[in-house]
Amino acid sequence: MEKGYTEMADLLRYGAPTVSCIVAITALVISIRLNHRQRQITRLEIARNLHGELISDAAMKDRHTLGTIHWQNRPISSEGTERGEVMCAYFAMLWRFERLHAGRKVLLEENNNVHDIALTILDRQIQTHVADYTCTFYEIRAKLEDSNKNDPVVDDRYAISFKELRKSLADTADEDTRRKLMYHTDNSETCGCSCHKVNPKPPVPAQHSQAS
Ligand SMILES: [Zn+2]
Ligand SMILES: [Zn+2]
């Protein structure tokens, strides 16, 4: 009886707390796993929204405006509304990339600068857009300045942000993509974009408002 009593006392003293402790640890592990899963879902959702910046209806319209001039390699008319419209689209796209860069930076920093699945997917989705706009911004900016020498394009701050995004993407990109992302960093580098092979098309005639 004496022995049995001692065993019971020991079980109560050590065993019972141990059992509840295991239950608590199990609950904690499950909750950490759930939080980990929840965090992953949230990060994927943020990444999806960031990519959404570039493929929204408004972005498609601006991309069409810039893309047409970029790929036809034609000058921007200084008459009519074209220059103003191109200027608007140019800045709207710069701001989209700025928001994208800011959001991506938060995702990176929040994960100790390690690429998780959300960042890997995001980078894969935006890489081509960023590489394409490395040339687009450069060419459109030059054309905007050519079309009116008295009205410079004041985009320094946003251009810096786009450059940071390119550099950050280049860090983990393959060699070919890295070179595409780093083009136009200075005048000594040759851009591989096909737009340079296109003979410049004539400017679209300015649209004058109808006389009433
Ligand atoms: Zn180029
Ligand atoms: Zn180009």
Digit-coded pLDDT (tens) for 68-120: 999 999 999 988 899 999 999 999 999 999 999 999 999 999 999 999 999 99
The average pLDDT across 132-145 equals 94
Alpha carbon of 149 to ligand 2 centroid (Å): 22
Q: What is the mean pLDDT of residues 124-145?
A: 94
pLDDT of 12 over the 60 cut: no
CA 198 / ligand 1 centre spacing (Å): 11
Is the per-residue pLDDT at 4 higher than 60? no
**Ligand of minimum distance to the alpha carbon of 70:** 2
What is the average pLDDT score of the chain? 86
pLDDT score at 21: 81
Query: Which of the two residues, 191 and 162, has the higher pLDDT score?
Result: 162
Determine the Cα–Cα distance for residues 65 and 59; give it in Å rounded to an integer: 10
15 pLDDT band (50/70/90 cuts)?
low
pLDDT by residue (tens digit) across 172-199? 898 888 888 887 765 556 677 888 888 8
123 CA → ligand 1 middle, Å: 21
**Per-residue confidence band for 20, with pLDDT thresholds at 50, 70 and 90:** confident
Rounded to an integer, what distance in angstroms lies between the CA atom of residue 132 and that of residue 123?
A: 14
133 closest CA partner among 96, 172, 176: 96
* pLDDT of 32 over the 50 cut: yes
CA of 167 to the centre of ligand 2 (A): 19
Among the bound ligands, name the one nearest to the CA of residue 136. Answer: 2
Cβ-count burial 44-80 (b if 16+ within 10 Å, e if not): bebbeebbebbeeeebeebbebbbebbebbbbbbbee
Ligand at shortest distance from the CA of 71: 2
- Which of residues 184 and 37 earns the better pLDDT score? 37
- Answer whether 76's CB lies under 8 Å from 144's CB: yes
The percent of residues in the chain predicted with pLDDT above 90, rounded, is 61
Instruction: Work out the pLDDT band at 34, boundaries 50, 70, 90.
Output: confident
Residue 90 or residue 10, greater confidence: 90
Q: How confident is the model at residue 10 (pLDDT cuts 50, 70, 90)?
A: low
CB count in 10 Å sphere of residue 113: 11
Rounded to an integer, the average pLDDT of 115-126 is 96
Q: Domain segments of the chain: what residues?
A: 2-187
